[in-house]
Amino acid sequence: MSSHLTLGVLNGDDIGHEIVPATVEVIKAACARTGLNIDWRPLPIGRIALDSHGSTFPEGTIEALRGMDGFILGPIGHQAYPKVPGAINPHPILRKQFDLFANIRPTRSYPGLGALRDDIDLIIVRENNEGFQPDRNVVAGSGEFRPTEDVTVSVRVITRAGSARVARAALSLARQRRRKLTLVHKDTVFKLGCGMFVEECYNAAKDFPDVEVNEVIVDTMAMRLIREPQNFDVIVTTNMFGDILSDEAAGLVGGLGMAPGLCIGEGNIAMAQATHGSAPDIAGKDMANPFAMIESGRMLVDWLGHNRQIPEAIAASGLISNAITRMLADPAKRTKDIRGSAGTKAATV
Ligand code: ATP
Ligand code: MG
């Protein structure tokens, strides 16, 4: 038991320089009240690091992260990096280094923000390291190749072990909630890949007899998410289906600024990462909605609190939740994308 945590702070790019510092401030304020001692370690990453260290993901940053309890990763705008040596996408390296295979993406409606309904409270658990975006351990290169100039083959990797572990993560979450798990797949077409995923999910579910498990084909899921999102509790799915469905789910409750995420593995480290990208169009304009990042940070503190049994962290998470609810309830304190009038800074004071 320790009430001392070391957390990395990686701003990322574009709006990351606004929403990550806002997140750290909110967590600091909560910790000051509960007595949780966090050692914050800012680390260079992204375009700023390219200028200062010659790499968008310097070796020193990777090294430093290894010794930490967790970290906050702001959005990375790697698509816009210049084509120079050192301009690399940190995501695959992070995935491989820490094996953060479960990406937990909650969607909740808060009153008055333009959500489709007021009773949405679901979590999409997205497998993070396989599928069409396979880990480089499994497939060399990007998982795509051209056997001839005119044909591209994209490899989708599904493994028994990878499916089983993400299923267990989702089942554990469901057990803490309404005990309903929906498997989303397309085994009607991908009989081997999705078939294996589904099989392993049911196998894992044998250890969770208290969780009700059902399955929905992904295209039907896209429709049902809009027509009856209130009927879903925890959804588990493969990498790309989860990527797409979680943006759709964010759209149900006010857009990408409302889409937090926490990446976990079987190890002791977790990464707070909002679902949205670096939004270069609104960067530097004090317009970004900090909710998704702040809530991701809160999820990290909460996860560490439960995992390490740190009451001060669990209490801090509760205080942050209250502060978020107050912020979202007041149009003068929330940002324009969710029917408010505040800038990023005013939303977080
Ligand atoms: P990625 O490929 O990294 O997922 P993307 O192309 O999906 O990126 P985002 O950067 O996620 O694009 O955002 C798309 C648009 O949504 C942005 O241009 C911005 O207008 C809006 N947006 C995203 N995040 C936020 C936020 N936190 N607050 C307000 N608007 C946002
Ligand atoms: Mg996106």
pLDDT value, residue 273: 97
Instruction: Write down the mean pLDDT value for the chain.
Output: 94
pLDDT in tens, 87-138: 999 988 888 889 999 999 999 999 889 899 999 999 999 999 999 877 655 5
d(CA 20, CA 194): 36
Q: Are 75 and 17 in contact (CB under 8 A)?
A: no
Atom 12, ligand 1: which residue's CA is nearest? 277
Is pLDDT above 70 for 280? yes
d(CA 341, CA 349): 14
Question: End-to-end CA distance of the chain, in Å?
Answer: 32
Largest CA distance in the chain: 62
Q: Are 272 and 73 in contact (CB under 8 A)?
A: yes
pLDDT in tens, 50-59: 999 999 999 9
Is pLDDT above 60 for 163? yes
pLDDT value, residue 96: 80
Long-range contact set of residues 189-196: C-beta below 8 Å, sequence gap at least 24: 190/156, 192/158, 193/156, 193/158, 193/238, 194/158, 194/238, 196/158, 196/159, 196/160, 196/163
pLDDT value, residue 114: 85
pLDDT value, residue 123: 98
pTM for the predicted model, two decimal places: 0.94
Is pLDDT above 70 for 199? yes
Residue of 78, 256, 275, 294 to mutate, ligand 1, most atoms within 8 A of C-beta: 256
| 35-49, 86-100, 316-330: range with lowest mean pLDDT | 86-100
Q: Which ligand is nearest to the CA of 19?
A: 1
Q: How far is the CA of 297 from the centre of ligand 1 (A)?
A: 18
Is pLDDT above 70 for 141? no
Q: Which ligand is nearest to the CA of 247?
A: 2
pLDDT value, residue 3: 73
Is the Cβ atom of 123 under 6 angstroms away from ligand 1? no
d(CA 298, CA 304): 10
Q: Are 70 and 7 in contact (CB under 8 A)?
A: yes
Atom 31, ligand 1: which residue's CA is nearest? 257
Partners of 41 in the β-ladder: 8
pLDDT in tens, 333-348: 999 999 999 999 999 8
The amino acid that residue 163 corresponds to is S
Is the Cβ atom of 279 under 6 angstroms away from ligand 1? yes
Q: How many CB atoms lie within 10 A of CB 191?
A: 10
Assign 133 to helix, strand or coil: coil
Percent of the chain whose pLDDT exceeds 70: 97
Q: Looking at residues 41-50, what average pLDDT do you find?
A: 97
The residues, any chain, with a CB within 8 Å of residue 196's CB and separated by 6 or more, are: 158, 159, 160, 163
pLDDT value, residue 308: 93
Partners of 111 in the β-ladder: none
pLDDT value, residue 349: 77
pLDDT in tens, 144-159: 889 999 999 999 999 9
Q: How far is the CA of 179 from the centre of ligand 2 (A)?
A: 29
For residues 324, 297, 272, 214, the Cα torsion angle rounded to the nearest 10 degrees is -50
Assign 216 to helix, strand or coil: strand
Q: Are 123 and 106 in contact (CB under 8 A)?
A: yes
d(CA 159, CA 102): 14
Residue of 126, 240, 276 to mutate, ligand 1, most atoms within 8 A of C-beta: 276
| ipTM here | 0.93
Residue 90 phi, psi dihedral angles, 5° rounding: -70, -20
Report the b/e string of 239-250 with b at 16+ CB within 10 A: bbbbbebbbebb
Q: How far is the CA of 123 from the centre of ligand 1 (A)?
A: 20
pLDDT value, residue 143: 81
pLDDT value, residue 29: 97
Q: Looking at residues 18-33, what average pLDDT do you find?
A: 97
Assign 272 to helix, strand or coil: strand
pLDDT value, residue 295: 98
pLDDT in tens, 210-229: 999 999 999 999 999 999 99
pLDDT value, residue 133: 77
Would you state the structure tokens that stand for residue 147, as one six-digit string?
A: 């056997």
